[in-house]
Each structure stands twice: as structure tokens, then as C-alpha cells.
Amino acid sequence: SKSEHRMLYRLFLDLNRKNDTGWDIVIFRDELKKRQQLEAVGGVDYLSKLAHTVPSSANCGYYAGIVLDKYKRRQLCDFSNSVKIAAHGPDDIETILQNTDKDLGAITEEDSKSNAITLLEEALDGLTFHDATDYLSSGFQSLDKIINGLGKGHVIVVAGRPSMGKTSFMLNIASHISKENPVGFFSLEMTDTDLIQRLVCSHAGVSIRAAMQPRWLTEDQQNRLDDAKKQLKSHKLRIDQTQPLTPALLRSRVYLMQKMYGVRVIFIDYLQLMQAESRNLSLYETVTEISKAINLSLCNSSFQLL
């Protein structure tokens, strides 16, 4: 009964405080006799039964894993119920998505913390200085020589003055990678039509100004534009125009892209147009908060972000 187990548990705590060398069923029996509680807990037979029923400490790691697994499953059940309640509540959908992402992150946070410590010996055993499968070429050889290509978990910022071609440069990299690998492109400034027009013109070697005035196009330019459109149809490029885009919403959209399309690289055009979770921040504080959130999200991830 519960009262018997309470007696045994109190004795266990007392012995644990007094005895540093450990204890066994004989010590338990003698202590219970001194307290005149042996028969009250079921006698020697019940102690023997408990001793044979309790799992061996040799497998405690395995048993702890079972407990943790059940705990995580209960957390997921609670999480699922809270999402259902929130979905029918008064909050707007963006708030619900952000809270959902935060709650799901809390469930996995402990696992992330436990995996954050790497033993030097283990790291050295699996160390490779340049695994071709982990890096993607940007399509610009001179750039690849400097940054060694795009590596998993890397965050690369393309910076420059206005109207210097940052978007076109990123589009060229995205187009090159998307020949073989799925790519996600978050466009916060241009429409998908504008982006695709730029991409086609870049491939064809025709200026956007000329392409917008088809009656002035030469036959050669028109043919090159047609060929570029045919080639780009096979590229694995996904354009997302979600706005306003917060770090939490970015995480959820990227997660969907990875699940649905196996996206390996993410482009954001551009960072300052993202919306921070906090309000009333200066531009510097906004970019700092967004950059920090993105870096934390990408730690140990399997994709790259520009």
C-alpha cells in the first residue's frame, strides 16, 4: 500500500544520508527491525519481492531513456491540445504561429542543450576539412575560393550600397544552385514576377529595360529570352512572398520548405525588411535582433542562408 511504500522511502532517504558505501536488503531488514516496522511493510518476503522486481542499476541509462521518451510524448500531447485551443481562440494567426513555434522549440530545447557539448576526441574522429557534399558552389569561382562555397549552417550577408546589384547577384547564385538543389527565396521587396523577369534577362544577357520594350528587341535577343525561359523551367527555385516576415514565421516557412521540397539554401531579400518580434526598435536594434534570431535558428542546421 502507499503507507508501506512511504515507510520504505523514508528509510531509503535516511540510509542514503548516513551510508556512503551503499546498502542492501539485509541492512534494510535490520533497520526496519530497529524501528519495529518490518512487519508493517510486509516482512522479509515483501522486501525480497521488491528487490527482485526493481530493475538493475546497470541499465539505468536505458531506463532513463524510456522515462524521457514518455515525458516528451506527454509534452507533445499537451502541445497538440494547446494548439487546438489556440486555433479556435481570439488571437490573430500570426500570434498563434509565433507562440506555437516558441512552445515547440521549448520541447526540443533540453535535447539541444544536451547535444551542445562535443568531445574533442569524437570531433577529431569525424573531422573532414572539406566534404564536397556539405558545400555548394555559388557559381562564382573567385568567390568560392575565398569562402570555400556555401556550407551547412552558414549565414552569409551580401552588403552594398543601394542599386549596386545585390538582388541580381543573389538571384544568379540562387539560379546556379537551383539547377541541382532545391532553393528557397524570400522576396520582401520585389514581386515574384519582377524577380523572374530579372532572372530571365540575366540568363539571356538582355537588359531588363530592353526586355520591357519587346518591339525594340532584336531577333537574337528574343531567341535568347525564349531559351532562358525554357532552361529555367527545370530549376528548383521556390519564391516565398510572406509578409510581414518575422524570425518565428521564417522558421516555420523554412521548415515547410524543407519538408515539402528538401530545400538546402535559403535567400532573404532583404534583411532590413523583416519584422522583429519586439516593437519600437531602431533600425540597428531591429537588424541585430533579427540576425541573432536567424543565427540561433541555423545553429547545427542542414541548410545555408544568404
Write down which residue in 54, 76, 95 finishes a domain: 54
What CATH number is attached to the domain comprising 157? Answer: 3.40.50.300
The answer to the question of residue 296 being in a domain is yes
pLDDT of 1 higher than 80 = no
301 and 165 belong to one structural domain: yes
Instruction: Tell me the pairing of strands 150-151 and 304-305.
Output: unpaired
Strands 265-269 and 183-187: parallel
Alpha carbon distance 79, 84 (integer Å): 9
pLDDT in tens, 123-158: 566 656 555 556 888 888 898 888 888 877 778 888
Are 74 and 42 within one domain? no
User: For residues 17 and 80, which has the higher predicted lDDT (pLDDT)?
Assistant: 80
Q: Which residue has the higher pLDDT, 18 or 258?
A: 258
Is 87 found in the same domain as 11? no
Residue 172 lies inside a defined structural domain of this protein: yes
The pLDDT score that the predictor gives to residue 30 is 86
pLDDT at 251: 80
pLDDT in tens, 228-271: 888 888 888 888 888 888 887 788 788 888 888 888 888 988 77
Q: Answer whether residue 120 is part of any domain.
A: no
Residue spans of alpha helices (H) in the chain: 2-18, 25-34, 43-53, 60-87, 93-114, 120-125, 141-147, 166-177, 192-204, 208-211, 219-232, 247-261, 283-298
Q: For residue 186, which amino acid is it?
A: F
**Looking at the domain assignment, is residue 193 inside a domain?**
yes
| pLDDT at 173 > cutoff 70 | yes
Whether residues 182 and 97 share a domain: the answer is: no
For 68-114, the three-class secondary structure string (H helix, E strand, C coil) is: HHHHHHHHHHHHHHHHHHHHCCCCCHHHHHHHHHHHHHHHHHHHHHH
Whether 75 and 109 map to the same domain: the answer is yes
Q: Is the pLDDT of residue 119 over 70?
A: no
32-67 pLDDT, tens digit per residue, is 888 888 888 888 888 888 777 766 666 677 777 788
Q: Based on the fold, state whether residues 38 and 151 are members of the same structural domain.
A: no
Residues 175, 86: one domain?
no
Residue 249 domain-assigned?
yes
Assess whether 176 and 234 both reside in one domain: yes
If asked whether residues 189 and 276 sit together in one domain, one would say: yes
pLDDT at residue number 160: 84
125 in a structural domain: no
Domain that holds residue 108: 59-115
Is 42 part of a structural domain of the chain? yes
| Average pLDDT, integer, range 90-108 | 76
Q: Examine residue 233 and state whether it is found in any structural domain, yes or no.
A: yes
Mean pLDDT of the chain: 80
pTM of the model: 0.58
